Structure 1
Amino acid sequence: MRILVTGGAGFIGGHLAERFVSRGHDVVVLDNFDPFYDTRIKDHTVEVCQNLADDGDGSYRLVEGDVRDAELVEELVADVDYVYHQAGQAGVRPSVEDPRKYNEVNVDGTLNVLDAARKTEIERVVFASSSSVYGKPEYLPYDEVHPTTPVSPYGASKLAAERYVCAYSEVYDLPTVALRYFTVYGPRMRPNMAISNFVSRCLNGEPPVVYGDGTQTRDFTYIEDVVDANEALLTDDAADGEVLNIGSTDNIDILTLAEEIRDQVAPELDIEFAERFEADAEHTHADISKANELLGYEPSRTIREGVQEFVEWYRANRDWYEPLVLES
């Protein structure tokens, strides 16, 4: 199959590209190498995918460009069977400083993908949405009918894009699926995330820093589970036109997470606390029953198992990954 992955040198998009190439598919990646975090991580991802292709699996082509370039997007979409639209401006906290950029990339960029797709006989467009669309919980866990009241410009931009994805499915009969990711983590994750920071500090004998009192909870989702859910959509149309939560259901508070990592890596360290960021969500917790019913989605790892795997990966890749975490 011919697959376009926008944002395909990034964390989630890169793992999707890697999986698809390893399965023998022909993959085109569109990425603008935005320096939101150190682009050397993206360079490493590209190298991994290219090596897979060189070893005789699927093909891999990198196109450096932007989803805001409608002409380029149309040209690339016209040549593939599936589009995995992972490109987006990430980061809840930075979105408070520059909300217009988040609208331009996340909303206008998504419209470019959708407009290009409805001009073709595309099999499916899969959109990367976010648990940030929910905002303040009225109840937990979140199911897909929970009110969507995002509390950050980032969340608002992802919700607007998601609504366009669903509207295009309804109005233009375009096969689309929107996956609401819940705090994805794993190898090659963004270096400024809580888990990578906790691990790095502990490995270097520095106490992990918790923002706020640590009672905030998160539904952390291991990257391989996210990739499995996306891959299922290559062959399963049961979720067309739908929005699905992709989480772990294994909710954990941030203080317990910090303690878990500390206990695995450097049990002698204390936990430090700093002021919480206002735009951060208080709680996230996914009800994944809809994804389970439609796709057979089942998380494969608890947070403790996933963290242990990440710590092992971190140790094995410390020479190139750790400097980027420390610089973030």
Structure 2
Amino acid sequence: MRILVTGGAGFIGGHLAEAFLDDGHDVTVLDNLEPFYAEGIKRHTLDVHREVAEGRAVDYQFVEGDVRDPETVEALVADADVVVHQAAQAGVRESVDNPRKVTDINVDGTVNLLEASKEADVDRVILASSSSVYGKPQSLPYEEDHPTEPVSPYGVTKLTQEHMARVYTELHGLPTVCLRYFTVYGPRMRPNMAISNFVSRCVNGEPPVIYGDGQQTRDFTYVADVVDANRTLLESDAADGDVLNIGSSDNISIQKLAETVRDQLAPELEIEYESAREADAEHTHASVEKAGEVIGYEPSRTIAEGVGEFIEWYQANREWYEPLVRES
């Protein structure tokens, strides 16, 4: 099948496009190469795509463009069987500083995509949502019917995406699925995330820095598990019109995470603390029971196992990845 991956040069979208190519699908990547973080990581991802496509003898296209451009979106969606929508302005703190931009990209861009998909009668649209839609926890782990009261503009835009997708399913019969990702990490991850930041600092003999007291907890999801969920949905209609949590069903305090990385790489370092950042969630923890029942989703790694794998990957790829992490 022909799959359109928006945001396909980014972290999650890049892994999805790579996996789809390796599975023998034809893939079109749409990405504007926004320099929210080091563009070199995205360029490296595109090189990986080309190598995989050449090895598998499948058709691969990269289009440098923007989901905010209706004509570009319409042209690419018209050729697609399935649309995997990962393009977004990421970053909770970025959304606090620039709410208009995050709304323009995440909401208006998604409407462009849904409208084009409706007209093209695609088989399915799979949209990347976020645990940020939940906001302050009334109970943990989060189940999909937990109240959604996001505490950042980013979370609001992701919740709006979900509602738009639901409306297009109900009004127009467009099959859509929204996946609520819980802090995804792994190879080629964004440099400004806690795990990559801790690893980079410790490798270079610098103490990891925690924003706040470290008692915040996170459910970190290994990127391979996100890929598996999306792979299943390429063929399955079991979740059409629905939302699913995609997490690890595990969580860890930021303090424990920093200690885990520090103890493995530089046990002599003392952890440092700075003021907490506004709009960061205090706790996240996913219930993945529904995803397990509906699409057979099962996390493959504990957080400790996944962090260990990322450290090994970082050390093996340090020559090209670390300079880009350090400049971000």
Q: CA deviation at 1:15?
A: 0.2
1:102-122 CA-partner distances (Å, limit 9, x unpaired): 110000000000000011221
Aligned equivalent of 1:64? 64
Aligned equivalent of 1:185? 185
Contact 2:239 2:295 in 1 (8 A): yes
| Distance across 1 between alignment mates of 2:57 and 2:131 | 34
Letter in 2 for 1:56: R
What SS class does the counterpart of residue 305 from structure 2 fall into?
A: helix
**1:118-137 equivalence runs, <5 A:** 118-137=118-137
| Distance across 1 between alignment mates of 2:283 and 2:106 | 23
Q: CA deviation at 1:234?
A: 1.1
Aligned equivalent of 1:319? 319
1:174 to 2:174 alignment = yes
What SS class does the counterpart of residue 120 from structure 2 fall into?
A: coil
**1:3-14 equivalence runs, <5 A:** 3-14=3-14
| Distance across 1 between alignment mates of 2:150 and 2:124 | 27
Letter in 1 for 2:309: E
Aligned equivalent of 1:242? 242
Q: Which runs of 5+ in 2 are unaligned?
A: none
Letter in 1 for 2:91: G
| Distance across 2 between alignment mates of 1:70 and 1:229 | 28
Letter in 2 for 1:118: K
| Distance across 2 between alignment mates of 1:57 and 1:153 | 42
Superposed CA RMSD: 0.7
Q: CA deviation at 1:24?
A: 0.7
What SS class does the counterpart of residue 234 from structure 1 fall into?
A: helix
| Distance across 2 between alignment mates of 1:223 and 1:60 | 22
Contact 1:23 1:57 in 2 (8 A): no
Aligned residues: 328
| Distance across 1 between alignment mates of 2:111 and 2:218 | 30
| Distance across 2 between alignment mates of 1:291 and 1:237 | 13
**1:139-154 equivalence runs, <5 A:** 139-154=139-154
Contact 2:21 2:56 in 1 (8 A): no
1:111-155 CA-partner distances (Å, limit 9, x unpaired): 000000011221100000000000001111111111110000111
Letter in 1 for 2:17: A
What SS class does the counterpart of residue 169 from structure 1 fall into?
A: helix
**1:94-133 equivalence runs, <5 A:** 94-133=94-133
Q: Which runs of 5+ in 1 are unaligned?
A: none
| Distance across 2 between alignment mates of 1:101 and 1:162 | 18
Percent of aligned positions that are identical:
68
- Please identify runs of 4+ aligned residues in structure 1 that moved more than 3 A: none
What SS class does the counterpart of residue 282 from structure 1 fall into?
A: coil
Letter in 1 for 2:207: P
Contact 1:114 1:168 in 2 (8 A): yes
TM-score by length of 1: 0.99
Letter in 2 for 1:114: L
Aligned equivalent of 1:53? 53
Q: CA deviation at 1:53?
A: 1.0
| Distance across 2 between alignment mates of 1:8 and 1:322 | 21
Contact 2:207 2:271 in 1 (8 A): yes
| Distance across 2 between alignment mates of 1:296 and 1:261 | 31
Letter in 1 for 2:76: L
| Distance across 1 between alignment mates of 2:205 and 2:39 | 26
Greater mean deviation of Cα atoms: 49-58 or 149-158: 49-58
| Distance across 1 between alignment mates of 2:56 and 2:95 | 41
Contact 1:77 1:83 in 2 (8 A): yes
Q: CA deviation at 1:58?
A: 2.4
Aligned equivalent of 1:270? 270
Contact 1:22 1:57 in 2 (8 A): no
Aligned equivalent of 1:26? 26
Greater mean deviation of Cα atoms: 182-191 or 268-277: 268-277
| Distance across 1 between alignment mates of 2:178 and 2:123 | 15
